[in-house]
A and B are shown apart, each in its own frame.
Chain A
Amino acid sequence: MSYELSHLRELEAESIHIMREVAAEFENPALMFSGGKDSIVMLRLAEKAFSPAKIPYPVLHIDTGHNFKEVIDFRDRRTAEVGARLIVASVQDTIDQGRVAEETGARASRNRLQTTTLLDAIEEHRFDALFGGARRDEEKARAKERVYSFRDDFGQWDPKAQRPELWNLYNGRIKMGEHIRVFPISNWTELDIWQYIADDKVDIPSIYFAHQRRVFERDGMLLAENDFVERMEGEEVFEETVRYRTVGDITITGAVESAADTVDKIIEEVAATRQTERGATRADDRVSEAAMEDRKKEGYF
């Protein structure tokens, strides 16, 4: 018997340790679930961490209303399967309450608005810890973020005042009104996620696999034809075989041309790709060099 774990099993153990630590030390945690592959793996890890008991915290979805239908169906099915309580916080409600104003024009998105919805949900439900599926390989501001990311009363991240994080000893002490964002899959890469999905036969929404879709091109990305985006002049819709590398709002998530219709083919594609997933498919990170850092400081994930 060799006393070595494969890299996936070591990553899994680290994540499970973090998820149990939060369950033990916080009063009112919740698991953020977007229906994307990272949050799906995170939900799977939570299932493993507490088996045979149910996951001892609810699942929170920030619903922008600009979703892929396949993803919402998947969310409902999967949370029912694991027996978790699903809390949906809706950006539309936040708009209707006059807390934020809808952006207008062809480039309007609700990406930025969801921060307010999230912070409102945290306050309403008095969450003291929120699990997020962010990975450090995704983006350079995230590469600097702790597993336990301290947020003040306003949900803000202060990159210069992060708590040192050593060994597997996490400091979850907070005052009333503050909370911790917890990133249990910080050390996973995109390829690790896919290998794990293959290894563990994790179910994922169909839009990750190659399919026919009506799309149009904008800023070098293929956006899905949908009811929420006004097309600009010259943006013609055409049919293409595509798949999604990330799942965000339908208004800002680009598809990639791909014929990969199985997990194994996706792994081959990911291993050979020369673009980061956010660079290739997310309009929200293209705004500036520090787009992610700025949004995180405001309370975004």
Chain B
Amino acid sequence: MSEILRFATAGSVDDGKSTLIGRLLYDTKSIFEDQMEAVEKTSEKMGSEYVNLALLTDGLRAEREQGITIDVAYRYFATPKRKFIIADTPGHIQYTRNMVTGASTADVALILVDARNGVIEQSRRHSFIASLLRIPHIVVCVNKMDLVDYDEEAFNRVRDEFRDFAMRLDVPDLSFIPVSALVGDNVVDKSDNMPWYDGSPLLSHLETIHTASDRNMVDVRFPVQYVIRPMSDEYHDYRGYAGTVAGGVLKPGDDVVVLPSGFESTIKSIDTLEGTVDEAFAPMAVTVRLNDEIDISRGDMICRPNNQPVVTQDVDAMICWMDETQALSPRKKYAIKHTTRAGRVMVKDINYRLDINTLHRDEDATEIKLNEIGRISFRSTLPLFIDEYRRNRETGSFVLIDEASNATVAAGMILGESAG
């Protein structure tokens, strides 16, 4: 059985991203005849001389009219080996929040670099966002190789330049593939035009990237989402804690501790509709029962006594600001959603604002505006059960919500506990 690979792409009109996605979809037979017909018709209507594959991904009227991608679009295709979910995002700096959104769930970031231009500002920005969001694998497609005569030197130049830059980022797995999306070199089939390249074409690379070990299998984290109490004759005393495993492996008999109460118990059983299971691991959605009756509710966290998250009200985090109407500044208050826990926070301090093109830190910044990224500290009304985002994407992430407009205004990646 195949597993799911989620990958994020970012790009603008000219770098061949739409062509590349179009080709992956087309060559894996994931574009249907009626979709193709619609695209052909619209291309013709818009006076385009060639079939514009970008129209396949630009779903909204405004996008088609303006010929730009505004929002994240999700695309699906499958091969016998894997199911793929593409989060296709616009590449311009004014859409940084959309890129961050697409990157938040991705296993792989696909970054396109034009072989003629080398590493430009946009490639740096996309790579930085990928590393900020801890996408474990980055695949750099050095595109338009047909326009540089399939020259190995040109490829090596881009690769070395990219590596130099990426050393400043934290990228666990970085690979490079020379492609021509337009012609199809090294996209699905290995190209005869570049015998010097001995790696896999893009699709087989994506099919074989190993992602199972990207999940945290060490630190048991089970945020309680919902308490199941059937209140029926048959299940009179049933009390189950439903949730999605956020880390580690849970087994019946395990010693556990429940936060914030600190009460300890052991796992009685792990239930699903089909019956009990011997183990539960991320991202399974299960129901856990304990051997002792303790008061547990939504927002509590089940973990192991000898491996607990940090319990704190003071948090140090990177955030991407997503609201166009108001900026973040110290002393402002927001609602927070972290795992299944909801509370309120007050911003204490802006540590710095980051220029995502140059990675320069502006420590004098007094606010963080739309599409900007910065490091802040805040205090929460409730204790939160946090892990560092780089250790656990589930217990290390949060969103901030404006309490007046209800808009989601920030995405946050936890660095740790801040000085209180």
Contact = CB atoms under 8 A, between A and B. Distances in A.
Contacts of B71: 144, 159, 162
Interface string B105-118: 10000000000000
A289 interface: yes
Contacts of B58: 140
Interface residues of A, number: 64
Nearest to A9: B284
Contacts of B104: 166-167
Contacts of B257: none
A6 B3 contact: yes
A142 B71 CA distance: 12
A150 B398 CA distance: 20
Contact of B335 (A4, A8, A173): A173
Contact of B97 (A51, A164, A171, A187): A164
B226 A20 contact: yes
A166 B105 CA distance: 7
A50 interface: yes
Contacts of A192: 83
Interface string B227-258: 01111101100100011100001000000000
A5 B2 CA distance: 8
Given A10-B4, A17-B225, A164-B101, A143 B61 contact: no
A174 B397 contact: no
B394 A168 contact: yes
Given A13-B284, A169-B398, A171-B408, A47 B273 contact: yes
Interface stretch (B29-37, B123-131, B191-199): B29-37
B1 interface: yes
A290 B74 CA distance: 18
Contact of A48 (B98, B229, B273, B283): B273
Nearest to A12: B285
B4 A7 contact: yes
Contacts of B235: 52-53
Interface stretch (B150-158, B159-167, B376-384, B399-407): B399-407
Given A4-B212, A293-B60, A14 B3 contact: no
B180 to A, nearest CB: 26
Interface stretch (A87-95, A233-241, A244-252, A271-279): A271-279
A129 interface: no
A185 interface: no
A293 B62 CA distance: 11
B281 interface: yes
B271 interface: yes
Nearest to B102: A166
B135 interface: no
Contact of B337 (A1, A8, A143, A171): A171
B171 interface: no
B34 A275 contact: yes
A66 interface: no
Given A143-B75, A171-B399, A186-B74, A276 B34 contact: yes
Interface of B: 1-4, 32-35, 38, 42, 56-62, 64, 70-76, 78, 82-83, 85, 97-98, 100-101, 104-105, 212, 215, 217, 225-226, 228-232, 234-235, 238, 242-244, 249, 271-273, 279, 281, 283-285, 287, 298, 322, 335, 337-338, 340, 393-394, 397-399, 401, 406-408, 411
The 8 tightest CB contacts between A and B, nearest first, are A279-B34, A140-B59, A6-B1, A53-B230, A51-B273, A16-B285, A166-B104, A173-B406
Given A24-B298, A53-B230, 13 more contacts: A6-B3, A17-B283, A21-B340, A143-B57, A143-B59, A143-B74, A144-B59, A159-B60, A160-B60, A166-B411, A171-B401, A276-B34, A290-B61
